[in-house]
């Protein structure tokens, strides 16, 4: 053996019940600067699905705005028709 190292201390006696796997922390240490939510979309298929979902959200928002504008315009037209009919 190498004489440059100091002798190792003796380990205390352990009982069999203390060596359960449940008492061990088996998680890996967290990496600095890496977020786990970025790893969820690591495959190309998942990225395409997220892009498609975002495009659908935008398209639905546009169509909803168009529908709301059309409904508001038809309300105005109907009010004008109604008031014109009441005056006549």
- Burial pattern 20-56, b for ≥16 Cβ within 10 A else e, equals eeeeeeeeeeeeeeeeeeeeeeeeeeeeeeeeeeeee
Residue 59's pLDDT band, with cuts at 50, 70 and 90, is very high
Domain locations in the chain? Answer: 43-88
Question: Taking the complete model, does pTM exceed 0.85, yes or no?
Answer: no
First and final C-alpha spacing in the chain: 114
The tens digit of pLDDT for each residue in 26-58 reads: 777 777 766 666 555 567 788 899 999 999 999
Q: Tokens 């998942």 sit at which residue?
A: 46
């Amino acid at each position: 053996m190498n004489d440059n190292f100091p002798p190792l201390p003796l380990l205390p006696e352990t009982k069999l019940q203390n060596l359960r796997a449940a008492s061990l922390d088996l998680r890996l240490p967290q990496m600095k600067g890496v977020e786990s939510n970025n790893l969820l979309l690591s495959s190309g298929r998942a990225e395409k699905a997220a892009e498609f979902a975002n495009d659908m959200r935008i398209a639905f928002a546009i169509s909803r705005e168009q529908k709301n504008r059309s409904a508001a315009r038809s309300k105005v037209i109907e009010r004008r028709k109604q008031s014109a009919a009441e005056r006549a």
